[in-house]
Amino acid sequence: MKRGEFLKSLGLSTSTLMAYWCLGTAMTACGSSDDDPTPDPDPNPGSGSGTGITGTTTGTAINFTVDMANSNNTKLKTNGNYIITGDVLVARTTAGAYVALSKICTHEGNPVQYRSSSNDIFCQSHGSTFSIAGAVTNGPAVSALKTYTVTVSTDGNTLTVKA
Ligand code: FES
């Protein structure tokens, strides 16, 4: 039985039926936009269910895994890409090596980024640059970025990042 037939069977007036029909149509429209199954990609996936990141990504006890089969992280299978999760920048260098460093610039604490064009770490706030090993290559920063150990699983689909 269709919705209209059901409501008619209840003995409701035409105006009442129209009110129900409009309400039903509006709710359907709202539901379809709110339930969008393809959310916009998040460049900074963070950790938690659905992100492909599991574990501790902030603070001093960094210890997490990155599922590179997850759509948030598949770019790490291509040289010259990176993600930021929590306090950590994880990059696949132009040479195909995985590195993980603190995303927090040692100058004034702003977030850094990986630059594939020069295969280094750059802070756009004041122009500091760091090698992929974390060493300062251009100030005003004077201290190296903290680095983390990255291990790749045998099947190449999971990274483990540890302090
Ligand atoms: S905060 Fe990075 S260079 Fe100043």
What band does 11 get if pLDDT is binned at 50, 70 and 90?
low
Question: Is residue 29 located within the same domain as residue 57?
Answer: no
Question: Does pLDDT of 16 surpass 60?
Answer: no
Whether the Cβ atoms of residue 122 and residue 105 lie closer than 8 Å to each other: no
- Which letter, b or e, does each residue of 22-45 get, where b requires 16 or more Cβ atoms within 10 Å of its Cβ? eeeeeeeeeeeeeeeeeeeeeeeb
Query: For residue 49, what pLDDT band results from cuts at 50, 70 and 90?
Result: low
What is the predicted pLDDT for the residue at 50? Answer: 74
The rounded Å distance from CA 37 to ligand 1 centre is: 38
Q: Measured in angstroms, how far is the CA atom of residue 50 from the centroid of ligand 1?
A: 32
Do both 117 and 86 map to the same domain?
Answer: yes
Q: Whose CA is nearest to atom 3 of ligand 1?
A: 126
* CA dihedral for 29, 31, 32, 36, sign (positive or negative): positive
For residues 72 and 134, state if they share a domain.
Answer: yes
Q: Which domain holds residue 19?
A: 3-34
Q: Which residues contact 41 (CB under 8 A, 6 or more apart)?
A: 71, 72
CATH code, domain carrying 146: 2.102.10.10
Number of domains in the chain: 2
Alpha-carbon radius of gyration of the chain: 25
